[in-house]
Amino acid sequence: MSIRVIKPGMQSSFQDLGRTGHQHLGMPVAGVMDARSHQLANILVGNDADMASLEITLTGPTLRFDEACCIALCGADLSATLNAEPLVMNRPLIVRPGDEIAFGARRSGTRSYLAVHGGFDIAPVLGSQSTFIRSGIGGFQGRALKRDDEIDLRRPLANKNLENLAMDLWDIRVYLPSPVAQTVRSSIRIITSAQWFDFTQASRDSFVNETFRISPESERMGYRLQGPHISLTTPRQMISEAATFGTIQVPAGGAPIILMADRQTTGGYPKIAYIASVDLPLLAQMGPGDTIRFEIISLEQAQELDRARARAFDDLKDTLAPIRSRLLAH
């Protein structure tokens, strides 16, 4: 045993970058909602980006560590504490046997990501450690954490020279370039779909000029939006197509739905636009009651933003290589 769940929180589940390559078999991708925070947490503890982290939603768990390890917490500020003292986010930290991490009030964001050096000892399903709760597969027993769950670590740290290790890690400067840093934007960038002109002019104008609110009926599968009615020029039937993270579908009722990490594999509703992948982490940190405005960019702009983010993560991983080296040497 390495970690014991004292309190489970609202919904804490293990997620990686998703169960890719199986949508043609009807298997959803799942995976993290906020890939930026997940990748950053893994880099900070010397992991590869595809190792699972613990995705913590709104009300966090209380976790007791029975072995020493290196952790990093990124994403939403949910008033995390380590042994009742404020836990510093976006830094590698050493946790000792008997230490407890807990969470309090939400200050900003919706989801935090906890990574540990070496990863969690969870068996992959179809090549992924992600939890898909609807089907009860992946992660820890195919579900969110419960009280008294016990999770093993793949590479706990030896109980020697932990203070020196902690100081060495603290002395490593962590600078987040702007494509990696968590930013606040007044709008979410979108790319119009091939069906954009199938919607009325009034609907298209409303979609980019008015504000939508995320409905309480929103979760990891999709965000339902409340706002102006979006309608087609004429009703039409569509053949179902593959669904992607960030697709914005418009059912007959006229209220858009943004497909999220636990989306279905195919969908037959008309699609008005797609969220630019660079802004999916911003969307993932929003929740019911939050408001959204959309801004159109070109496909080429979206691709360049995505490339810039990927380059920034590669550079950051190189810059923080001393963290990985120091932990592997311990």
Structure tokens at 176: 């987040």
The 8 Å CB, 24+ separation contacts for 246-253 are 246/274, 246/275, 246/276, 246/277, 246/280, 246/283, 247/271, 247/274, 247/275, 248/190, 248/193, 248/272, 248/273, 248/274, 248/275, 250/199
Cα distance between the two ends of the chain: 21
Q: Supply the mean pLDDT for the chain.
A: 95
Rounded mean pLDDT, 34-40:
97
Say yes or no: 54 and 165 in one domain: yes
> In the chain, pLDDT over 70 holds for what percent of residues?
100
Say yes or no: 42 and 102 in one domain: yes
Say yes or no: 250 and 171 in one domain: no
Q: What is the pLDDT of residues 138-169, one digit of tens each?
A: 999 999 999 999 999 999 999 889 999 999 99
Domain carrying residue 117: 3-182+315-329
Q: What is the pLDDT of residues 229-255, one digit of tens each?
A: 999 999 887 888 888 999 999 999 999
pLDDT at 225 exceeding the cut of 80: yes
What distance in Å separates the CA atoms of residue 102 and residue 284, rounded to the nearest whole number? 22
pLDDT at 182 exceeding the cut of 80: no
Say yes or no: 143 and 235 in one domain: no
Rounded mean pLDDT, 61-79:
97
Rounded mean pLDDT, 192-217:
96
Rounded mean pLDDT, 278-295:
96
pLDDT at 321 exceeding the cut of 90: yes
pLDDT at 110 exceeding the cut of 90: yes
What distance in Å separates the CA atoms of residue 169 and residue 174, rounded to the nearest whole number? 10
Q: Within 10 A of 44 (CB to CB), how many other CB atoms are there?
A: 27
Say yes or no: 167 and 197 in one domain: no
Say yes or no: 322 and 268 in one domain: no
- Identify the CATH number of the domain in which residue 193 sits: 2.40.100.10
Say yes or no: 11 and 134 in one domain: yes
What single-letter amino acid sits at 251?
Answer: P
Closest C-alpha to 213, from 285, 109, 284, 292: 292
Say yes or no: 286 and 173 in one domain: no
Rounded mean pLDDT, 32-51:
96
Whole-prediction pTM value?
A: 0.96
**Quick one: pLDDT band at residue 55, thresholds 50, 70, 90?**
very high
pLDDT of residue 52: 98
pLDDT at 117 exceeding the cut of 80: yes
Answer yes or no: are the C-beta atoms of 271 and 193 closer than 8 Å: yes
Say yes or no: 24 and 133 in one domain: yes
Backbone phi, psi, residue 119, to 5°: 85, 170
Report how many domains make up the chain. Answer: 2
Say yes or no: 42 and 173 in one domain: yes
Say yes or no: 44 and 163 in one domain: yes
Q: What is the pLDDT of residues 130-144, one digit of tens each?
A: 999 999 999 999 999
Say yes or no: 222 and 285 in one domain: yes
pLDDT of residue 1: 61
